[in-house]
Amino acid sequence: MWFKPWDKNKVKSNDQVAMDRLPRHIAIIMDGNGRWALKRALPRSMGHRAGVEALRKIVKACSKLGIEVLTVYAFSTENWKRPKDEVGVLMTLLTEYLRKELLELHQSNVLIRTMGKINDLPPEAQHELAHAMKSTRDNTGLILNLALNYGGRSEIIDAVKSLSKEVLSGEQRIEEIDEQCFSEKLYTRGLPDPDLLIRTSGEMRLSNFLLWQLAYTEIVVVEELWPDFGQKALIEAIKAYQKRDRRFGGIHTN
């Protein structure tokens, strides 16, 4: 089955994706808000605000396509190093996004979840996240997974600590620990690993994102800065993914 997406006046006729080979889980490193603003002689805050609008469009597109999970790198553990004013803007935009978009997300059957050290976020942001997750917890459509105050190394350390406690208490035997057991201690437990990672702005690094989960993920790096990344760019990334030969370390015998 083939799907010709979006407005025919905006998408070329040969822009098609195979609906039976969609990635179940797409992860995105949303990079380039600051550079987008700099190119336009705007304050960085305007770049972040444009980035929120880009996120809104991509969430809507993924929901329309039938993607199961969308994980977005919204705020890393390293982002606290940014100027205090910029961090404040990012937290304000997070709460604004949840307040403004929650009704539409809920009506679109989107389920909101988070991963990261959420308890270290400002109280207002924690409140809005808790409200959004509670309001959408019974939804069965796209899972929008927000990585907030998230770091891949920190996640792995937390998983090790959790398993260590179980071993010390006798709940877990060392020889029974395997990849599946370890994965269940990660923030992404219950979710499939990403099939496709998209990074915008042309940067060729993972930036401490999903270090365990990306072991066999197909990576697509695009030159667009995040605020310029739209529905057509998403389709192009999915098309690139569908051209990959995913062998997971093996070989095809036919």
Task: State the catalytic residues.
Answer: 31, 79
- Distance of alpha carbon 161 from alpha carbon 164, whole angstroms: 5
Tokens, residue 136: 């959408």
Instruction: Give me 82's structure tokens.
Output: 């940014």
Alpha-helix runs per DSSP H in 108-202: 123-136, 152-169, 179-183
Give the list of residues 6+ apart from residue 85 with CB closer than 8 angstroms, or none: none
H or E segment and range at residue 36? helix 33-39
Q: Quick check: 66 and 22 in contact, CB under 8 A? A: yes
The CA-based dihedral angle spanning residues 194, 149, 234, 102, taken in that order and rounded to the nearest 10 degrees: 110
Q: Would you call 108 exposed, middle or buried from its count of C-beta atoms within 10 A (0-12, 13-18, 19+)?
A: middle
Name residue 89's amino acid: V
Asked whether 39 and 209 are in contact (CB, 8 A), the reply is no
Identity of residue 49:
R
Cα–Cα distance between 251 and 240 in angstroms, integer?
Answer: 20
Count CB neighbours of 123 within 10 A: 7
Residue 209 to residue 202: CA distance in whole angstroms: 16
